[in-house]
Copies of this chain bind each other. A is one copy, B any other.
């Protein structure tokens, strides 16, 4: 069957991106300068700032310039850039305020920099909004954007305004990172611990709670004191007010062997690391194994599990296959105490598994059984 019988939904988001990357090769001719490390497969693009400066055709004093660049070469720094586009009916639950939409649009973009260990430096935001949007809501959205910029210490430096049937917020965040500290998806070795920077599953539980069909069920359970109001609040907070912990990313960049942000579910992100490694080292047989026990031992897991059950959801499924937690998944050759020493003591982290030589992504259940994990994560255009 030829391509013209297929729709984009037959491929799904990840295969579409792969398709774009494959096409890139045809265009990587000599005409396009090679100053860039294409990182379309990574969380953000890395651009060598030194080379960017050298594109100048009018260097006044070539000797000074070369000397200068030698210095720069020594602590080689990347400009890091990443784009994320959010669409109202896909990314913003109905209960999300316009202020929160603005905030989230900045957070998702900053999160891609965090995932690279980069320090954010600025953001551009392009908006599309319905023409009948009340000006009060427009202001709220802009306030949310600017408030998040303030939180992350970055300026809003540009963008575009358009008309559309629903709200679309497209951002491009950029920042900087020293080459040696860039947190990549590759770099882990056998025996490395696999860890996450905070408990996950709360945001996806929050999205479940906020669904029309669930909100009254939860209210009744709360009334009868069957579930924890504190955890319900926390889950909703994580869903509506996601935050990217930039400082954790910067610290992890210095000692973690690899890392990424957990936006599409833990399983999906584990496969991101696994596949990225496979692409560059096809025969090292490295695999990633996580332990059910470590996930179920996280502080709020029991309560998350109880609430999930009320909503006919499996908490492990929420953790593995739904995302939006914006925590960082990382690997490190250091042991738990040394990771603790490297991370600020106020920063939580949980060891959830280890790098193996089994050449697959797997889950070890508490009864000892080991199964290959399904790569299913949140994916646009997915059939199911």
B131 to A9, Cβ gap below 8 A? yes
B176 to A7, Cβ gap below 8 A? no
Return chain B residues, CB-CB under 8 Å to A133.
7-8
CA distance A183 to B350 in the complex (A): 52
Residue-wise interface mask of A (134-148) relative to B, using a CB-CB cutoff of 8 A (1 in contact, 0 not) = 111011001100110
CA distance A173 to B153 in the complex (A): 23
A178 to B29, Cβ gap below 8 A? no
Please classify how large the interface on chain A is, using the bins under 10, 10 to 19, 20 to 34, 35 or more. Answer: 35 or more
CA distance A154 to B121 in the complex (A): 22
* A126 with B84, Cβ < 8 A, contacts A79-B79, A135-B7, A170-B170 known: yes
CA distance A120 to B75 in the complex (A): 25
Return chain B residues, CB-CB under 8 Å to A58.
75, 178, 181
Return chain B residues, CB-CB under 8 Å to A60.
74-75
Return chain B residues, CB-CB under 8 Å to A176.
52-53, 55-56
B68 to A71, Cβ gap below 8 A? yes
* A139 with B75, Cβ < 8 A, contacts A32-B155, A150-B27 known: no
Asked if A222 is an interface residue, CB under 8 A from chain B, the answer is: no
In-complex Cβ contact of A7 among B32, B65, B83, B132 (8 A): B132
User: How many copies are assembled?
Assistant: 2
Q: Is the interface of A mostly helix, strand, loop or mixed?
A: mixed
Return chain B residues, CB-CB under 8 Å to A55.
119, 121, 176
B45 to A53, Cβ gap below 8 A? no
Asked if A49 is an interface residue, CB under 8 A from chain B, the answer is: yes
1-25 of chain A: CB within 8 A of chain B? 3-4, 6-11, 13, 16-17, 19-20, 23-24
* A149 with B32, Cβ < 8 A, contacts A19-B142, A45-B122, A133-B7 known: yes
CA distance A165 to B128 in the complex (A): 14
Return chain B residues, CB-CB under 8 Å to A146.
23-24, 26-27
CA distance A172 to B135 in the complex (A): 26
Residue-wise interface mask of A (287-314) relative to B, using a CB-CB cutoff of 8 A (1 in contact, 0 not) = 0000000000000000000000000000
Can you name 7 A-B residue pairings with CB atoms under 8 Å? A23-B146, A32-B154, A33-B153, A56-B176, A61-B71, A83-B126, A85-B127
Given A55-B121, A79-B79, 13 other A-B contacts at CB below 8 A?
A24-B146, A36-B155, A40-B157, A45-B124, A58-B181, A59-B75, A65-B71, A67-B68, A83-B125, A85-B127, A85-B170, A90-B164, A168-B170
6 A-B pairs closest in CB distance: A170-B170, A172-B172, A45-B157, A85-B126, A9-B131, A45-B158
